[in-house]
Amino acid sequence: MDKYSLQGQEETLDPGNWERAFETGRQILEDSLAHFRDVRERPVWREMPQDVRSSFEAPPPHAPQPLEDVYEELNRTLMPYPMGNIHPRYWMWYMGAGSFTGALAEFLAATDGSNLGGGNNAATLMDRQVVDWLRQMMGFPGTASGTLTNGGSMANLIGLTVARNVMAGVDVREEGVAAIPAPLRYYASDQVHSCHQKAVEALGLGNKALVRVPSDADSRMDVAALEQAIARDRAAGRKPACVIATAGTVNSGAIDDLSAIGALCRREDMWFHVDGCIGALMAIAPASRHLVAGIEAADSLALDPHKWLHVPFEAGCALLRDSNAHRAAFAVQPEYLEEKPRGIAGAEFLHSYHLGTSAAFRALKVWMALKEHGVAKFGRLIDQNVAQAHYLTNLIEAEPLLELMALTTINIACFRYDPGNRNEAGLRDLNTEIMLRLQEEGIAAMSDTTIKGRHCLRIAICNHRTRREDLDLLVRELLRVAAEIEGTD
Ligand SMILES: *Cc1c(COP(=O)(O)O)cnc(C)c1O
């Protein structure tokens, strides 16, 4: 026991010198503000020099060093080499663009320090309020419930889990999936996000339980083909359980016919899930909201505040129409987490709404963003991005060397550079090289994908800093780089 005896002053992680901590804190705050202010002057992305790269291989530090020195190292190794998604010309994959307020919110959430496992504290009330705000923004009824998650993938998993438990015809939580009498089938278009495959696998249903329904020429689910697939499965003794409609596909932003699919689910007595990670928030955008009409009828909906609300990663949200079914899927009552009539445990624990226990205080960044700007401004910014994607689409269609590769429905444009003398493989090589050079020169970040077997470049404008002139510049620079590669400069 001797080795545990206390001697002298106990240690703590708090600053030894608060004055210096104030200084460092102020410096970090100022530098962060400048980081956002000057983002347009920096390249979108840059390759790390080798010495910076190898600094991340250093062994664990045993000796202490002043916080100022730790921060100074970050200014050399971390801050100059971000992914780039806060830059006005970042349009890769699908990202929010962050904000200074978001950064402050993360800082304040950590300062508050609450664990959103729940309990009787202000952070928990704010979490419930933010979920309820999102519910109202989506037009869900007051009886619905929801939870913030680490992202859309988890939000989808939560919706699909409740769907499985409700549709299984057996107590899956107690008996397990082996007891499900007829194999469950989920249906989604062939454009469905990959997280749904992971979800059905994690749910023990297997990848083949996710039936990929063909999409039409504009990448929307073919509803007649969906009906046929459902009929086939019923005839074969399988149980059609759930349709996953996508409101904004990741490839091209296509929106499945939510009203038709919702009606079909009611007719067929199936669960109606909407993956709205990209498009759900269009429900608050005046010019775009008609595109997601019918979303409010979903049994479950996944949306992603870290996309079009631009809060820093991570923040997703699952909404469930039936709060009882939601709780029935996740509620547990361990003896060490008993709710009490008063005090710190005097509130409902939030782990009854998701798979985890501890949780980050994600609500604050959403709360601060909505309070600072108001819902209406976010709606306008969404419409602005959609208008910009259509502006870019017009530029593409006006340029003979560029070919539009998919219908631009919302804020995603797919296209390629085609000089007319290359086959598919040659075009893929050429366009990939264009994309990589634009990244490496720090000019613009776009990604690529393959739609209906054809490779294309992809611009997803989920970015409140983008201006039309950035899109003009993109087309100009793309043509320059392409000409350089072709050696016809
Ligand atoms: C982004 C996205 C997801 C996954 O969401 P994460 O927040 O990345 O986990 C799922 N579906 C669609 C359509 C998406 O765009």
How many angstroms does the Cα of residue 201 sit away from the middle of ligand 1?
A: 17
Cβ 253 under 6 angstroms from ligand 1:
no
309 C-beta closer than 6 A to ligand 1: no
CA of 116 to the centre of ligand 1 (A): 23
Distance 304 CA to ligand 1 centre (A): 7
CB-CB contact of 44 with 474 (8 Å): no
Tell whether ligand 1 has an atom less than 6 A from the beta carbon of residue 276: no
Q: Please name the residue whose Cα sits nearest to atom 14 of ligand 1.
A: 277
Q: What is the average pLDDT value for the chain, to the nearest integer?
A: 97
Ligand 1 center–CA 255 separation, angstroms: 14
Question: What element of type H or E holds 320?
Answer: strand 316-320
* Class of residue 68 by CB neighbours under 10 A (exposed 0-12, middle 13-18, buried 19+): middle
pLDDT tens figures, 148-194 = 999 999 999 999 999 999 999 999 999 999 999 999 999 999 999 99
pLDDT band per the 50, 70, 90 thresholds, residue 43: very high
To test the pocket of ligand 1, the residue of 85, 153, 458 to mutate (highest count of ligand atoms within 8 Å of its CB) is 153
- The pLDDT-based confidence of 1 (bands split at 50, 70, 90) is low
pLDDT at 488: 65
pTM of the model: 0.97
What tens digit of pLDDT does each residue of 203-258 get? Answer: 999 999 999 999 999 999 999 999 999 999 999 999 999 999 999 999 999 999 99
**Is any atom of ligand 1 closer than 6 Å to the C-beta of 250?**
yes
Q: How many angstroms is it from 153 CA to the middle of ligand 1?
A: 6
Structure tokens belonging to residue 20: 């210096």
| Helices 468-486 & 375-398 angle (0-180, nearest 10) | 30
User: Coil, helix or strand for 377?
Assistant: helix
Taking CA atoms only, the protein residue closest to ligand 1 atom 3 is 152
Q: What percent of the chain has pLDDT over 90?
A: 97
Ligand 1 pocket check for 301: Cβ under 6 Å: no
Is the Cβ atom of 153 under 6 angstroms away from ligand 1?
yes
* Nearest atom of ligand 1 to the alpha carbon of 314: 7
Looking up tokens 């240690």, which residue turns up?
Answer: 11
3-state secondary structure of 383: helix
Whose alpha carbon is nearest atom 12 of ligand 1?
277
Measure 315 CA to ligand 1 centroid, in angstroms: 11
Q: Each residue of 339-375: pLDDT tens digit?
A: 999 999 999 899 999 999 999 999 999 999 999 999 9
Tell me which of 91, 258, 277 to substitute to probe ligand 1's pocket, judged by most ligand atoms within 8 Å of the beta carbon.
277
Best probe residue, ligand 1, of 157, 189, 275 (max atoms within 8 Å of C-beta): 275
Our answer on whether the CB atom of 304 is closer than 6 Å to any ligand 1 atom is yes
Residue 397: how many other CB atoms lie within 10 Å: 13
Pocket mutation for ligand 1, best pick of 91, 93, 94 (most atoms within 8 Å of C-beta): 94
Q: Which atom of ligand 1 is nearest to the CA of 154?
A: 9
pLDDT, tens digit, 9 for 90 and up, residues 264-308: 999 999 999 999 999 999 999 999 999 999 999 999 999 999 999
275 lines ligand 1 (CB under 6 A): yes
